[in-house]
A and B are shown apart, each in its own frame.
Chain A
Amino acid sequence: MNGGVTKRSVGLVAAALAVLVVLPFVVGTYFTMFVTEIMIMGIFALSFNLLFGYTGLLSFGHAAFFGVGGYMAAFLLIHGFPSLPLALLLGTLAAGLAAVVVGYFSVRLDEIYFAILTLGFGMMFYTLVHQWRSVTGGSDGLTGLVLPPLGIGGFQVDVSSPRAFYFIVAFFFIVTILVLSRIVASSFGLILMSIRENKERTAFTGINIRAYRLASFVVSGLFAGIAGGLFAVFDRMASPSMLHWTASAEPVLMTVLGGAHVFFGPVVGAVLFFVIEHVITQFTDIWMIFLGGILIPLVIFFPEGVLGTLLARRRGKRFKGSGGDKA
């Protein structure tokens, strides 16, 4: 999935970077914001897939960390916190802390029990922000974020314009890709994948399964927190719906759409998710039925997702039919 650095892949990366940089100058504000949101959800889905695709743990409560990151950043920014990067950083750390606590308990369980327990923890966080009105604003959420200007090398940059914020998100998007792709290609990442493939055998080699799973859980939570902080700034608000279990389902859907066993699968899934939503909501608000209608045949016939299936076809491998998946 993350093969050697070939000329081809360098060219691809350069082209992708060039498109990312040029894009907001070519397209209008609406499309700039559209791509901004895709990148934020791309970070979220990538973070989720470290757990799902690489460690083999299906979390159905990942929105908790997305929400904690978002609420922390939003809380600081509505109370006049002077630095945007620091607010995002603190949001990320808060999400990481939440992930330490939730992960400590959750990684003891497997499969469906893990999914249900993370769902339960996620909903605990949801009820917390929903009920703790004095701090979180209850069901109204936190609104009216003030964005302090960003100081870069002596310049004061106003980040409230869609284009400036686009570049901030693009920066975090690239950092996320660099860090996570390093992680999954490292020996740490290999151990995660071996845990996914066979927990017992990996344990026999002397590896502490729980510790590795917890590490994966926390890293995943940290990046979900970054995405949440960016999302709150993007929306200028943090609302309880960020933490609801249906929000946890979104990175799951994106990852399955794109493919859980290829690194960029979740990103491709995020793009597809938003394009499908964008196209269908032109005609009707009821678009989840189409998403479901796409998800069902995808799970049955293409369990490796769109990108995963395309790459497998290109490599000339026969697509593994039913029963070949171990996610």
Chain B
Amino acid sequence: MSLFFMNFLNGVSLGMLLFLISIGLTIIFGVLGVLNFAHGSLYMLGAYFCFQFVSLSHNFLGALLLAPLFVALIGGVIEGTLLRPVYGRDVSFQLLLTFGVLLVLDDAVRLIWGSGYHIVDPPAFLGGVVRLAGFTYPVYSLFILFIGPMIGLGLWGFFRLTLWGKKIRAASMDREMAAGIGIDVNRLFTGVFMFGAWLAGVGGTLAAPLRAIGPSMGEKIIIESFIVVVIGGLGSFPGAFLGAMILGLINAYGAQYLPKATMALPYILLAIILLTKPRGLLSKES
């Protein structure tokens, strides 16, 4: 029973990280219409920036503040210089373009930090373990469990209550109409892309003490995030949450009950959902 409970915690905390990354991916798709292949690499950059900052200053909270901002800046440069010329093009071409960005970012990381793995220790006040239902559980994972919903709640408030949030939702529903009523779509696009990149950076920074930081971490997470946003419904906010939780729990319980098939489960789920509900579980269009 308690193993079941442990796996629940593991699944939800993995889901929280996936949610942070996927929400950026799905916002960018919803507003800009671009499926950003390089989004996992932005997450990876967040982790590397966190590693760099912590090894210089030994201040994790500072890293949590700064690393995502740097990622957001890089996102702004990518959107302004590379994506802007191809908005009118076919989605496949945007996918290829952002794949090019992925290649560049992944290898840039190899050039700067090498191909080896790096580790970031959680900050002292979040280190160590607690006893839960007869098991020991890392405090840092509990911190993720706590901060994930906080960020989710903050995003919900941002989109529902603030002017910018409303503009973004308006633009994701109808770009032309949003431009028509006086929303500066160019600035909005840059802002949204930077915001999505920032969220990926936050995800990467938070993941840094949990996972080994290496040049392939973006490649792995981007496929998982694609699955999350597609099963939830591309562009759907609650869909990203639902998808992330499903995928997190599948990973955790799969490892317990179906260890041999756990690698394939997300892909099987993806295929089943795409074939039965082609636009995802919680899509806006039917």
Give me the interface of A with B, judged by CB distance under 8 Å: 58, 105, 108-109, 111-113, 115-117, 119-121, 123-124, 127-128, 130-131, 245-246, 249, 252, 256, 286-289, 291-293, 295-296, 299-300, 303, 322-323, 325-327
Contacts and interface: CB of A to CB of B under 8 A. Distances in A.
A208 B86 CA distance: 32
Given A120-B274, A291-B103, A296-B97, A323 B230 contact: no
B226 interface: yes
Nearest to B38: A292
Contact of B270 (A108, A111, A117, A130): A117
Given A121-B267, A127-B267, A325 B226 contact: no
16 contacts: A109-B278, A111-B91, A111-B92, A112-B95, A117-B274, A119-B226, A128-B264, A131-B261, A131-B263, A249-B99, A286-B110, A288-B103, A288-B107, A299-B86, A322-B85, A325-B93
Nearest to B29: A112
B90 A105 contact: no
A127 B264 contact: yes
Nearest to A289: B107
Contacts of B88: 322-323
Contacts of A121: 267, 271
Closest 3 CB pairs of A and B: A292-B103, A289-B107, A295-B100
B260 interface: yes
Given A112-B91, A249-B99, A252-B96, A131 B107 contact: no
A104 to B, nearest CB: 10
Contacts of B110: 286, 289
A115 to B, nearest CB: 7
Interface in B12-53: 35
Interface string B193-224: 00000000000000000000000000100010
A296 B95 contact: no
Contacts of A112: 35, 91-92, 95, 234
Contacts, number: 120
B65 interface: no
Contact of B278 (A113, A120, A246, A327): A113
B230 A116 contact: yes
A325 B219 CA distance: 28
Band of interface residues on B: 35 or more
B107 A292 contact: yes
Contacts of B111: 286, 289
A296 B274 contact: no
Contact of A327 (B92, B106, B107, B226): B92
Contacts of B90: 111, 325-327
A131 B265 CA distance: 13
A68 to B, nearest CB: 16
B271 A120 contact: yes
B185 interface: no
Nearest to B234: A112
B267 A292 contact: no
Nearest to A293: B104
A112 B97 CA distance: 14
B227 interface: yes
A121 B267 CA distance: 7
B129 interface: no
A123 B270 CA distance: 11
A245 B97 contact: no
Contacts of A291: 100, 103
A289 B274 contact: no
A322 B85 CA distance: 7
Given A293-B104, A296-B82, A300-B97, A109 B274 contact: yes
B51 to A, nearest CB: 19
A119 B89 contact: no
B129 to A, nearest CB: 32
Nearest to B219: A246
A123 B267 CA distance: 7
Interface in B119-164: none
Nearest to A303: B93
A188 to B, nearest CB: 23
Interface string B244-261: 000000000000000011
B10 to A, nearest CB: 20
B25 to A, nearest CB: 12
B211 to A, nearest CB: 20
Contact of A119 (B97, B102, B223, B261): B223
Given A296-B104, A300-B86, A322-B86, A120 B267 contact: yes
Contacts of A109: 274, 278
Contacts of A108: 275, 278
Given A288-B103, A296-B104, A323 B274 contact: no
Contact of A300 (B85, B263, B271, B275): B85
Contact of A130 (B263, B271, B274): B263
B188 interface: no
Contact of B101 (A116, A292, A323, A327): A292
A134 to B, nearest CB: 12
A286 B100 contact: no
Given A293-B104, A296-B82, A124 B275 contact: no
Given A117-B271, A322-B89, A131 B104 contact: no
